[in-house]
Amino acid sequence: MMISSGSGCKDRIQYLKWTLTIFAPNKALFKLQEQNIVRNRKVTMPMTQQRATARAHPNIAFVKYWGNRNHALRLPSSPSLSMNLAGLHAETTVTWADELDEDIFTLNDQRMTGESLSRVSRHLDALRARLGIAKFAAVESHNNFPTGAGIASSAAAFAALTLAGTAAAGVSLDERELSAIARLGSGSAARSIPSGFVQWHAADQHEQSYAESIAPPDHWALVDVIAVVSQSHKAVGSTEGHRSAETSDLQGARVAGAAERLAICRQAILERDFTSLAEVVEHDSNLMHAVMMTSRPPLFYWQPASLLIMEKVRQWRAEGLRVCYTLDAGANVHCICVKDDADAVTQALGRLSEVQEVRTAGVGGGAVIIEHSLPT
Ligand code: DP6
């Protein structure tokens, strides 16, 4: 279904119109799509441009997503659970415009080309097909956190892109569907649509693999204190990493136990039980990295400084601080702690010469529309 993106060809509009007639895995979706086309027509007939801006937070997973049962649709091998990160966000404006003859993507005021543009354009293809749009889009995105700060930006980026693209089309989709569509752009983006503490379901069908909130941000004042030990770009990105997971003998065992770990984690959050949370969060992170290290070829994201901090965190917890660690596909260490202990953790990390920088984020809300302008 996907077409090579960034191609400015005129044939592409024709292709997009064609995809509208066939991109419908079932009749229900097709009907909805038809309704949206009609609804869009009503809204859009006199207009040449439709624009909206959305904001979404990145998230940190407590039970990780690593490996897909379907790579093209980003249907994960196992369910996952995360917390949105307040104060950090991607802000994305989508303008669907008759005047454009190709998609345009700017990130932090820089015009993007190559694979970044292609990935955005492929996601726009999915939105066009679902929303019944046969126009190209200008996408302008800004992150308020630097790349290389140990925070994956794709989750916030694709959540914001999905919501802005949908709102700009004058279509209102429910949170569940927005989450499933965001997942097509980046798996973890599914978890940046709902608010607070979020669970993402693993399933065989596109419609069934979405994320939902299990508790709002004010349910539990947790803080992610991020110890930045490396600013360098990761050698192997998540998308490639997910493909390599199945080459590890350990992935089967990791996946087999994921539902149970998720249930324990979910319960710990609902009961605000930090002892139980710490145990399952660290164990799940270790399992994912064990899979990474035993994949063929192996992926080593930990650095000596990461291991040192993991050791310190366990020591601080034994001494009474409510803190635990988790690491994504990178060397930086996310120290999850209760708010009352966040200052102590930040100061302790700041005293380590291996730590280049410390960033903190509380529990964030879901993706929101911040501007919806009716066009000129
Ligand atoms: C290690 O969602 O970044 O952070 O679907 O290819 O965009 P793509 O991957 P991505 O993978 C995130 C992996 C992780 C664990 C997690 O966030 O659950």
Residues 244 and 248: their CA atoms lie apart, in Å, by 8
Residue 1, token pair as written in the block: 């279904």
pLDDT band at residue 133 using 50, 70 and 90 as cut-offs: very high
Give the residue whose CA is nearest to atom 7 of ligand 1.
186
Task: Say yes or no: CB of residue 62 within 6 Å of ligand 1.
Answer: no
Look at the chain and count its residues. 376
Q: What is the pLDDT of residue 373?
A: 78
Could you tell me the residue ranges of all domains in the chain? Answer: 11-217, 223-361
Q: What is the pLDDT of residue 146?
A: 78
Ligand 1 atom at minimum distance from 187 CA:
5
**Mean pLDDT across the chain:** 89
DSSP string, 91-125: EEEEEEETT-SS-EEEETTEE--HHHHHHHHHHHH
Topology adopted by domain 223-361:
Alpha-Beta Plaits (3.30.70)
Burial, 271: exposed, middle or buried (Cβ in 10 Å; 0-12, 13-18, 19+)?
A: exposed
pLDDT tens digits for range 317-356: 999 999 999 999 999 999 999 999 999 999 999 999 999 9
Q: What is the mean pLDDT of residues 185-203?
A: 98
Q: So what CATH class is 11-217?
A: alpha beta
Task: Say yes or no: CB of residue 187 within 6 Å of ligand 1.
Answer: yes
Give the residue whose CA is nearest to atom 4 of ligand 1.
328
Q: What is the mean pLDDT of residues 289-309?
A: 97
Give the residue whose CA is nearest to atom 3 of ligand 1.
238
pLDDT band at residue 316 using 50, 70 and 90 as cut-offs: very high
Contacts of 252 (CB under 8 A, 6+ apart): none
pLDDT band at residue 201 using 50, 70 and 90 as cut-offs: very high
Report whether pLDDT(38) > 60: no
Report whether pLDDT(289) > 80: yes
Run of H or E residues at 49: strand 49-56
Task: Say yes or no: CB of residue 78 within 6 Å of ligand 1.
Answer: no
Q: What is the pLDDT of residue 231?
A: 85
Laid out side by side, the sheet with 357-361 consists of 323-326, 333-338, 222-228, 357-361
- First and final CA of the chain: distance in angstroms? 33
Task: Say yes or no: CB of residue 74 within 6 Å of ligand 1.
Answer: yes
Report whether pLDDT(376) > 60: no
For the chain, what percent of residues have pLDDT higher than 70?
A: 86
Output the CA 73–ligand 1 centroid distance in Å: 14
pLDDT band at residue 21 using 50, 70 and 90 as cut-offs: very low
pLDDT band at residue 234 using 50, 70 and 90 as cut-offs: confident
Residue found under tokens 């529309």: 369
8 A C-beta contact, residue 194 and residue 175: yes
pLDDT tens digits for range 145-180: 877 666 888 999 999 999 999 999 999 999 999 999
Report whether pLDDT(81) > 80: yes
Output the CA 238–ligand 1 centroid distance in Å: 5
Ligand 1 atom at minimum distance from 183 CA:
5
Q: What is the mean pLDDT of residues 232-244?
A: 88
Distances (CA, A) of 95 to 92, 138, 139, 155, 266: 10, 5, 7, 20, 38
